[in-house]
A and B are shown apart, each in its own frame.
Chain A
Amino acid sequence: MRKVQISTATGSTIGGLIAVLGVRYIPKQYQYLTIKTELELWVCLLPMFIAFLLVFRPMFLKKFLGAFGVPHLDMNVDFKPKLLIIKPLWFISSVSVLTMQFIIVSAISPLVLVLRAGSLIVGLNKEVPSETPKSAKLLLLLAPKSYRENLVGDLEQEFRTIVLPQYGAWRARWWYRWQVACSLLPIIWNSLKRAAGLALLWKLIK
């Protein structure tokens, strides 16, 4: 019988548990797509499962987990049942284990995330708040005081009057985050350079 190595299952279980916990604590407004029907689930799962098997080949996973000292269960590896009756049972158990694994993994599957993003782009984002993201707004406190208020005001005005009506809440919010990141990066970079300069000066003085 062909060897079926299901060590992938261990990895997917760990990933799945993290995912389930992650999804559980993601606020509702950020959960853009709810899988309601079984068909939707399988559409998500099947390509993900194939990709998962291709990327995380059992041997690779075994080495990877071993390197980090993660307890690793090689279920059914090199298992060659001698009794004929065991073969179908073994096959059913393997398939059911795998099925369970990829149902769990689907929670974090990047593919699901892509599908979620896709569903937003086509306008299924009814629950996304049409406000500027608070976390990004908070980051703007790092902007120089001399123009911080004006920068926040301009960003807010462009967000509300141009980007939000034109592109929808989800994309508008990402636009806002991107603007904040682009605005802050040069400031952070300059601060780092200044800090490096000061460190060098301190070294010279010492």
Chain B
Amino acid sequence: MQSRINGTQSPGTLGEFETLVLLAILRLRDEAYGMRIHLEIEDRADRQCSLGALYTTLDRLEQKGYVSSSLGEATRERGGRAKKYFQIKAAGQRALKNSYAATRKMAEGLEPQLGVVL
């Protein structure tokens, strides 16, 4: 209740960018690492974001227990640095589902005004 009054996020909810990141991870499956997630968000959501902002969000999502990460292979084009792959966890899926459901409920009946079909 306090968080509602202050306008801050309660622990179970997701921010807009967090939702985009989780959806990108879900979509990319085994190929979800920093650069691919970045490109996916830019291409699909048409939203410009920096890799730094993306990593800050991924770090936060990991701390919340919504995603887990594992190190992959190091490649030449990355200057010999390893990729960090992200996987969505059950808690993350739940949060994403709740966020999506909330958006749908809020938008119900507003389709003509929004000009979209949900």
A interface with B by C-beta (< 8 Å) = 143-144, 146-147, 149-158, 160-162, 179-180, 182-184, 186-187
The residue in chain B whose Cβ has the minimal distance to the Cβ of A151 is B55
Given A156-B77, A156-B78, verify A150-B34 contact (CB < 8 Å).
yes
Task: Kindly state whether residue B84 has any CB partner on chain A within 8 Å.
Answer: yes
Bound complex: CA A184 to CA B56 (Å): 10
Residues of A within 8 A of B34 (CB): 150-151, 153-154
| Cross-interface CB contact of A157 among B50, B59, B78, cutoff 8 Å | B78
Bound complex: CA A44 to CA B69 (Å): 55
B residues 73-93 touching A (CB-CB < 8 Å): 75, 77-79, 81-84
Query: Is the pair B82, A158 in contact by a Cβ cutoff of 8 Å?
Result: no
Query: Is the pair A154, B51 in contact by a Cβ cutoff of 8 Å?
Result: yes
Task: Kindly state whether residue B24 has any CB partner on chain A within 8 Å.
Answer: no
Q: In angstroms, how far is the closest chain B Cβ from the Cβ of A171?
A: 16
Residues of A within 8 A of B79 (CB): 152-153, 156
Residues of A within 8 A of B25 (CB): none
The residue in chain B whose Cβ has the minimal distance to the Cβ of A156 is B79
Bound complex: CA A46 to CA B104 (Å): 62
Residues of B within 8 A of A179 (CB): 50-52
